[in-house]
Structure 1
Amino acid sequence: MTGLGLILGILCVVLTAVAIVMTTMTVRRMLATIRLGQPDSTRNGPFGRRMAVMVKEVLGHTRMLKWSHIGVLHWFVMAGFGGLILSVVAAYGEVFVPSWDLPWIGHWGPYNLLVELLGLATVLGILGLIYIRQSNHPRFKGRASRFSGSRMGRAYFVEAVVLVEGLGVMGIRAAKYAAGYFDVPTWSAPVAKLIGSVLPAEPALVSVFAAMKIFSAMVWLIVISLNQTMGVAWHRFTAFFNIYFKREEGTALGKVKPMMSGGKPLDFEEADPEKDVFGAGKVEDFSWKGWLDFTTCTECGRCQSQCPAWNTEKPLSPKMVITQLRDHAYAKAPYLLAGGKRDMAGDEIGLESHAGIDVLALAESEKALVGDVIDPDALWSCTTCGACVEQCPVDIEHVDHIVDMRRYQVLIESNFPAELNGMFKNLENKGNPWGQNAKDRLQWTEDLDFEVPVFDGSQDFEYLFWVGCAGAFEDRAKKTTRAVAELLHIAGVKYVVLGSDEACTGDPARRAGNEFLFQMLAQQNVEVLNGVFEDRKVKKIVATCAHCFNTLGNEYPELGGTFEVVHHTQLLNKLVRERKLVPVAPVAEDVTYHDPCYLGRHNKVYEAPRELIESSGVSMREMPRHADKSMCCGAGGARMWMEERIGKRINVARVDEALGTAPTKIATGCPFCRVMLNDGLTQRKSDGLAGEHVEVVDVSQLLLTAVKRGQPAKTAAEPAKEDLSTT
């Protein structure tokens, strides 16, 4: 033991003791803070499945590797952080006695090779991540940087600590070799021995590197203990739990989280606004999982980089929504932990006296969640496309939190964009957002040369064709409905439609925050559908609208309506494979395909529409952003019925991307997308930026054209069914 080693060792022990005490106290405060959120019984078990998913995501880096090179670098750093724990333990011995080694494994070749690889991986990984952060710095890229709005100083601190930790490990090994204490095979420590060959044979150098490693680790713990909102550091611990407690069925895509109160779905018939939680009007109205989400955000900006609102100069950044909620939650926590509570008018009802309450916490308690903490324009800019959720490496549930805040604004505050008033009234009075009469739901059938069977209780059918409001009333979407009906007729598929008995599924109401209206429409539809499928073992529905497809399949089961729901592209693709539809004669057309968010990202249907396009004999060109990185058309989240006054229109931005592939047609598989893309294309044509030959079509129309090419023209007297004899 050297004199320097003794001094450094004592300092390390003292610093470690301080760090452990501070970290323990902070963790206890954080747990108490997270528990301020509402209960959520849906996060319980099954333990085995949840643990398996967590281990797979963490060790396999399945979500991080969506951005492959960054995922690999981050895996190196993560592996070093976890795999070098024993090297920290060894450092406590090495700082006092430079020749000290771990018992049994200290000189074991395979163990030393592992440490060598992890040490190098940590240094190389963090250097790569530092380079990526700097090359994407907001000072160079401005708003286009995914780090815009992130707290860069905190990230620099964490990166510096990781780099020092990695260098400390390699430094200890090299210094031990130089001092003659490192008797291991060269193959297990090639880099350490190479560096050590140029270092002085000074035992004290081992103590210095060991102290450097311990100091950096303990200073890191002390700093983060003083900063509970330092998600870029705390995610090293909280990410495991956030992934473990994510939705049982996977990521927070598809269905929206039910409206909860007291840990249970809210029953509107028994609900009491004075006692029950209606969405999120205060930060404590979010569930404890929401608070864990806020705590875990790393400010990496992946969500922000993919957000269509942020990319068109709107105030919404999913990242900043989460960090703003986090900062507000932790600032208000001391007030809440002391028993503070305010009524709907904002008056204090939880504390008799504010004595002893932190002044900043008291001031935070007076802030309105939407207005003071979250910008209303940011809240209502969300299209609920799910790009943020898809890209988040730690499974934060951005869309659920945004919808919960909308619910409170609509149901309690009655504070929402004026354009939604008309939509809500149309849904309530007419059963569709366009305000059309139910008796007109079959007008789309008038020009067809075959009869569309309307359910009357007597037919034998395989599929119920859910037409949807857009498919029944919107002129452009009617073309899709007709094309699908004709293809089903040609293929000999037995189907029925509901006609005037069909109503809106409630998707725009739910995602606009009007949960009460959604429940009313959904329960009405479930009752009708259960009557249609009564006594049937197989309950198949085919839908052309991606939003109807998602709601019927993912959200109606919670209300007693469990059906087998397929999208029309899936069914048509199946019919092509079975040779019931035979597309022929390829043509010289270039088609680009736009993935509807509620078909692709929310329900993972990517291949069926692409296979149909290819089978239709046209040339397929992908846009730069496609599949799970596809950009939204701008219609989701009830945005189709809201004016877009800030920044560039999302649909125009998407059309510009489509036109970059030089297509003759822009294909999609959702009526909402079709309307939005068509409007964007019309604007670009008026701007002289698109040729008149370009048009927006549904995938089904491409297929119908291809199928009809192989059929002879039929006379007026020939029934459509005769076409099958010629294919």
Structure 2
Amino acid sequence: MQLAAIIVSLVLATVGVALFGRAIAQILRFVLLGQPVPGGSRTNDPVARTVTVVREFLGHTRMNNWGVVGVAHWFVAVGFFSLLLTIANAFGQLFQADWLLPIIGSFLPWELVVEVFGSMMTVGILTLIVIRLANLPSRAGRKSRFTGSKAWQAYFVEYVILTIGICIMVLRGLEGALHQVEGYEAAYFASYPLVLAFDGLSTGTLANLVYFFAMVKIAASFIWMITISLNTNMGVAWHRFLAFPNIWFKRNADGAVALGALQPMTSGGKVIDFEDPGEDDVFGVSQVEQFSWKGILDFSTCTECGRCQSQCPAWNTGKPLSPKLLIMSLRDHAHAKAPYLLAGGGKDMEGNEKATAEQLKDVPAAALAEAERPLIGTAEENGVIDPDVLWSCTSCGACVEQCPVDIEHIDHIVDMRRYQVMIESAFPSEAGTMLKNLEKKGNPWGLAKKQRVEWTKEVDFEVPIIGKDAEDLSEFDYLYWVGCAGALEDRAKKTTKAFAELLNIAGVKFAIMGGDEKCTGDSPRRLGNEPLFQQLAQENVAMLNMAFGEDDEDPETKKPKTAKRIVSTCPHCFNTIANEYPQLGGEYGVIHHTQLLQHLIDEGRLTPVTPVDGLITYHDPCYLGRHNKVYTPPREIMSAVPGLRQQEMHRHKERGFCCGAGGARMWMEERIGKRINNERVEEALSLNPDIVSTACPFCLVMLTDSVNGKKNDGQAKESVQVVDVAQLLLESVRSRVEEAPAEDTDANPEPVR
């Protein structure tokens, strides 16, 4: 028994270590096939990045949002690393049954670590196995987050961990019996029942059992190592190693997820200058090797857990996009194509092969065939990613928010969209109308610029206009960026007028642009038309800088004389100006209207007094909530309005469900599956509310359209309203006659950006 155990263990260990070393080298070479990233963007502030990795791993900050799953996974993950020395102990036990690690082998703290994590890792993996079995795709279909995952790989990993956990505890029991533990003691607090079970066996029998279970433990460990080494695309196993660098190299050193701003388009690791692009600049991604090395690391790190899939509005409404399956497809394609790329293969812009026949002579036929597949193409074209997958994305950010290993799905989707739009001119036809209107008129509806200020004639107070009533913003507290929807769309204009009236009541000095401003560029950028975004944004930045005037410092405060404060009722405008205009030199302090209104209520400048009776439920706009973490102000405003009874939808805040308008989907028809706005409205109506509120003009349009459709079909009561929180607040404030606010009252909360 002992000889067989030694031979089997040493052979498997030797093969496993050799293959594992080769696999690590392969993955490193594979990841480095990706394009460079702008200098320092992934390595700045190494201390903060290291702290982020430690916090996310030890705190399981993302996983613990999933309750029992997070706790079980924590014990499995931490147990994997904390119990590595038990393998060394098992090797020693092959040669001497009662062998213990030197120094720490009988050290009580170490024994407690083995007892705690050995037992809890076993319980944890059993819990995860039960959860997986309870969510079998064959039973749950699309509702299972494991749909599309490689089941054999997951079960293999889970049962190996279970085997190792059982072996650790059995070996602890055998150790106790060999060392003649006579009574319960702390060092064997979890394994003591096994000590009792083995009590009375002869020393020879105990020794043979030790040899056997030590061999099983070692064999399971190294069979696992051999298997994953031969399957470098086995994310369910490799994520336990690759997650650490993937988190360390995430976009934000402080640990924030890759939401908010989109990254500028780069080529060869440099940001493309659209006024003078280089001859060799590559626009977007049409080949897997055109992703950055961080993108390829992302693909390799995916653990196929399906949390992104379970939260994705496209997947949940029957569309072909699953963020998990997208990343898996890119990973498997990249790994299959890697031998061709590592041999020097690749195509130029005209589709000609760069490598010689001599270079490619040893490349496997499967890799050569994979290299011929288009990255984006239909099933008939043998494409890796179907175009419908790309155009189903609303860029809501649920996938990025939920991913426990910090994969940046949206950036990769937009990079592929950029190629489709800019090089292939292949995108949904309805979006073409929006792009033409933006190019000609500067707004998605193609309306004349003078109509941007028409709403000001519908209020009974003066709204100052820059360029007409004032030269610049030096005398005003805020520039109110009305946005295209707020100025031109009838339903959104109600929010615009309500907010302006509230500012007037509160005595806040504000002004608006005179109609020469353009769309901020949110939709064209997320559609993939980066040059149009750049054009619109640069014109707006120049106009804003002129409106704010010179940034001379006050000699006493050492601060700019003009505070560049902007308030917006549109989260898409808010996000773009706050997070993306700095990429073009536009640094402003931007807040959302709900933040300013909450501040004015807190300051006593707005006092809701008239009750607004009814049950209300609030829909979190993705670009306000998930992308910018503004969740509290809208709810605080509703709480301040007398009579309202709030009730949250099942999916809210970080797990809020999209309305379907983001990612330029506002301008594209939904032809596949269920309409996303209908799914969201059905969830809202299940609470039987009197009011559905939101804080975004896009959401307002989408929710209103769906509610009206439900009313026509008799599925919603006629009295249910869809309104912005500003309209609710105005309804409650209007009847109060307030004294003019004191001139020294501060109505300027700190901007969030």
TM-score w.r.t. length of structure 2: 0.93
Partner amino acid, structure 2, of 1:417: P
Partner of 2:114, secondary structure, is helix
Partner of 2:197, secondary structure, is coil
In 1, Cα distance between the equivalents of 2:183 and 2:431?
A: 72
Partner amino acid, structure 2, of 1:619: R
In 2, Cα distance between the equivalents of 1:183 and 1:434?
A: 84
Pick one of 379, 384, 387 that aligns with 2:390: 379
In 1, Cα distance between the equivalents of 2:221 and 2:263?
A: 39
Could you say which residue in structure 1 is the equivalent of 2:436?
Answer: 425
Could you say which residue in structure 1 is the equivalent of 2:422?
Answer: 411
In 1, Cα distance between the equivalents of 2:35 and 2:150?
A: 28
Could you say which residue in structure 2 is the equivalent of 1:83?
Answer: 82
| Matching of residue 362 in structure 1 with residue 361 in structure 2 | no
Pick one of 326, 331, 334 that aligns with 2:331: 326
In 2, Cα distance between the equivalents of 1:723 and 1:49?
A: 44
In 1, Cα distance between the equivalents of 2:32 and 2:428?
A: 33
Give the alignment of 1:389-538 within 5 angstroms. Answer: 389-455=400-466, 456-457=470-471, 460-536=475-551, 537=560, 538=563
CA gap of 1:635–1:177, structure 2 versus 1, over 3 A, is same
Could you say which residue in structure 2 is the equivalent of 1:54?
Answer: 53
Could you say which residue in structure 1 is the equivalent of 2:749?
Answer: none
Partner amino acid, structure 1, of 2:572: H
Give the alignment of 1:708-723 within 5 angstroms. Answer: 708-711=734-737
Q: After TM superposition, give the deviation of residue 559 of structure 1 in Å.
A: 0.5
Deviations 1:635-655 (CA, angstroms, capped at 9, x unpaired)? 000000001000000001100
Partner of 1:499, secondary structure, is coil
| Matching of residue 287 in structure 1 with residue 292 in structure 2 | yes
Task: List runs of 5+ in structure 2 lacking aligned partners.
Answer: 378-382, 552-559, 744-753
Could you say which residue in structure 2 is the equivalent of 1:187?
Answer: 186
450-459 vs 574-583, greater mean Cα deviation: 450-459
In 2, Cα distance between the equivalents of 1:360 and 1:468?
A: 52
8 A Cα contact 1:312 1:649, kept in partner = yes
8 A Cα contact 2:263 2:411, kept in partner = yes
Partner amino acid, structure 1, of 2:224: W
| Matching of residue 278 in structure 1 with residue 283 in structure 2 | yes
Partner amino acid, structure 2, of 1:234: W
In 2, Cα distance between the equivalents of 1:52 and 1:245?
A: 12
8 A Cα contact 1:65 1:72, kept in partner = yes
In 1, Cα distance between the equivalents of 2:12 and 2:83?
A: 20
8 A Cα contact 1:471 1:545, kept in partner = yes
In 1, Cα distance between the equivalents of 2:357 and 2:590?
A: 55
In 2, Cα distance between the equivalents of 1:184 and 1:474?
A: 79
Q: After TM superposition, give the deviation of residue 420 of structure 1 in Å.
A: 1.1
In 2, Cα distance between the equivalents of 1:183 and 1:335?
A: 63
CA gap of 1:285–1:722, structure 2 versus 1, over 3 A, is closer
Deviations 1:447-469 (CA, angstroms, capped at 9, x unpaired)? 11000011132550011000000
| Matching of residue 678 in structure 1 with residue 684 in structure 2 | no
Could you say which residue in structure 2 is the equivalent of 1:221?
Answer: 225
Could you say which residue in structure 1 is the equivalent of 2:651?
Answer: 625
Give the alignment of 1:44-443 within 5 angstroms. Answer: 44-180=43-179, 186-199=185-198, 200-201=201-202, 202-248=206-252, 250-272=256-278, 275-353=280-358, 354-371=360-377, 372-443=383-454
261-270 vs 231-240, greater mean Cα deviation: 261-270
Could you say which residue in structure 2 is the equivalent of 1:715?
Answer: none
438-447 vs 621-630, greater mean Cα deviation: 438-447
Partner amino acid, structure 2, of 1:515: E
| Matching of residue 561 in structure 1 with residue 574 in structure 2 | no
Pick one of 651, 656, 661 that aligns with 2:677: 651
Could you say which residue in structure 2 is the equivalent of 1:717?
Answer: none
Deviations 1:104-160 (CA, angstroms, capped at 9, x unpaired)? 221122221111000011100000000000101101101111101111110000001
Partner amino acid, structure 1, of 2:567: V
In 1, Cα distance between the equivalents of 2:472 and 2:699?
A: 36
Q: How many pairs were matched up?
A: 713
Q: After TM superposition, give the deviation of residue 344 of structure 1 in Å.
A: 2.9
| Matching of residue 592 in structure 1 with residue 607 in structure 2 | no
Could you say which residue in structure 1 is the equivalent of 2:714?
Answer: 688
| Matching of residue 36 in structure 1 with residue 47 in structure 2 | no
Could you say which residue in structure 1 is the equivalent of 2:555?
Answer: none
Could you say which residue in structure 2 is the equivalent of 1:578?
Answer: 603
Could you say which residue in structure 2 is the equivalent of 1:636?
Answer: 662
Pick one of 15, 18, 33 that aligns with 1:18: 15
Q: After TM superposition, give the deviation of residue 723 of structure 1 in Å.
A: 14
Partner of 1:110, secondary structure, is helix
Q: After TM superposition, give the deviation of residue 185 of structure 1 in Å.
A: 7.0
In 2, Cα distance between the equivalents of 1:608 and 1:351?
A: 62
8 A Cα contact 2:472 2:546, kept in partner = no
Deviations 1:444-499 (CA, angstroms, capped at 9, x unpaired)? 11111000011132550011000000000000000000001000000000111002
8 A Cα contact 1:711 1:723, kept in partner = no
Partner amino acid, structure 2, of 1:370: I
Deviations 1:74-107 (CA, angstroms, capped at 9, x unpaired)? 0010111011011111111012111100112211
Partner amino acid, structure 1, of 2:353: E
TM-score w.r.t. length of structure 1: 0.96
In 2, Cα distance between the equivalents of 1:108 and 1:598?
A: 53
Partner amino acid, structure 1, of 2:584: L
In 1, Cα distance between the equivalents of 2:472 and 2:491?
A: 32
In 1, Cα distance between the equivalents of 2:223 and 2:736?
A: 74
Partner of 2:375, secondary structure, is coil
Partner amino acid, structure 2, of 1:330: H
Q: After TM superposition, give the deviation of residue 682 of structure 1 in Å.
A: 1.2
8 A Cα contact 1:346 1:366, kept in partner = no
Q: After TM superposition, give the deviation of residue 263 of structure 1 in Å.
A: 1.0
In 1, Cα distance between the equivalents of 2:182 and 2:586?
A: 69
Q: After TM superposition, give the deviation of residue 183 of structure 1 in Å.
A: 8.7
Deviations 1:293-329 (CA, angstroms, capped at 9, x unpaired)? 0000000000000000000000000000000000000
In 1, Cα distance between the equivalents of 2:269 and 2:375?
A: 21
8 A Cα contact 1:583 1:615, kept in partner = yes
Partner of 1:197, secondary structure, is helix
Partner amino acid, structure 2, of 1:457: E
Q: After TM superposition, give the deviation of residue 248 of structure 1 in Å.
A: 2.1
109-118 vs 173-182, greater mean Cα deviation: 173-182
Could you say which residue in structure 2 is the equivalent of 1:663?
Answer: 689
CA gap of 1:585–1:5, structure 2 versus 1, over 3 A, is same
In 2, Cα distance between the equivalents of 1:540 and 1:498?
A: 13
Q: After TM superposition, give the deviation of residue 269 of structure 1 in Å.
A: 2.2
Partner amino acid, structure 2, of 1:461: F
Partner of 2:646, secondary structure, is strand
Q: After TM superposition, give the deviation of residue 171 of structure 1 in Å.
A: 1.0
